[in-house]
A = this chain, B = another copy of it.
Amino acid sequence: MKNELYKEKLTEYLEGFVSERRIGRVKEVLDKRTNHITIVLEDVYQSHNFSAVLRSADIFGIQTVNFIENRNKYKVSEDVSMGSTQWLSINRYQNKENNTKQCLQDLKAKGYKIVATSLHKNSISLNQLTLEKPIALVFGTELTGITKDVEDVADEFVTLPMFGFTESFNISVCAALCMYELRNKLENSDISFGLTEAEKKDIYIEWLKASIKKHDLVIKEFDLKYSENPIK
């Protein structure tokens, strides 16, 4: 339990460097965070697209975004993401033999239902999707969509209502519409979709750090004090 105590003390210490108003805001946002929905981007390659997805994820309170980087490395453009990366948990899959398989396998092991947006023959409408199980929403690359690796393991395919000639949404638009719809659904459901207490504690520390200039120095100082007076 030493680790838990360390975190607790560190949290208290860091709080000393952040205004009450800011702490209030951080706690307020934290209470609305969810991992019940998670986003997977498979080789989305246009910077303005995945940066806009990150921004939307933050806005809709979706904590975790998974980057699959088979062919493209993600480089966030800050003017589009508006600094949202510092408030998100990002998992990167970039060095595995098959990043897509590894990512989806990990998510399935955590209990996620893999959902891809696609005009697949067995697609259901997004608003028909049930949310009892956590949902991993997978979005594929701009031109060719999801790979066969995703198709093979997806549990469900969803579509959005479309009324025009164009038959696919811009990827950042598509992701935002899905998040909007599913967040609405969660809000109006009995599902307890908030973060666990353990998740909250860890993210809270990260967000306090993000709220402190030169937090590296602050933590170094804390560690020094802590090693002098270890908590038993």
Q: Which of A152-202 contact B (CB under 8 A)?
A: 160-166, 168-170, 172-173, 176-177, 180, 183-184, 187
Copy number in this complex? Answer: 2
> Measured between C-beta atoms, what is the minimum distance from A47 to chain B in Å?
10
The CA-CA distance from A165 to B22 in the complex, in Å, is 11
With a cutoff of 8 Å between Cβ atoms, the chain B residues found around residue A187 in the complex are 161
Given A55-B169, A60-B164, A170-B55; A180-B180 close (CB under 8 Å): yes
The count of chain A contact residues (Cβ–Cβ below 8 Å) is 37
> Measured between C-beta atoms, what is the minimum distance from A68 to chain B in Å?
22
A119 CB–B CB distance under 8 Å: no
With a cutoff of 8 Å between Cβ atoms, the chain B residues found around residue A180 in the complex are 160, 177, 180
With a cutoff of 8 Å between Cβ atoms, the chain B residues found around residue A176 in the complex are 169-170, 173, 176-177
Contact present for A169 and B58 (CB under 8 Å): no
> Measured between C-beta atoms, what is the minimum distance from A200 to chain B in Å?
15
Nearest 9 A/B pairs, CB to CB: A61-B163, A58-B164, A32-B163, A173-B176, A52-B170, A59-B164, A58-B166, A59-B162, A87-B165
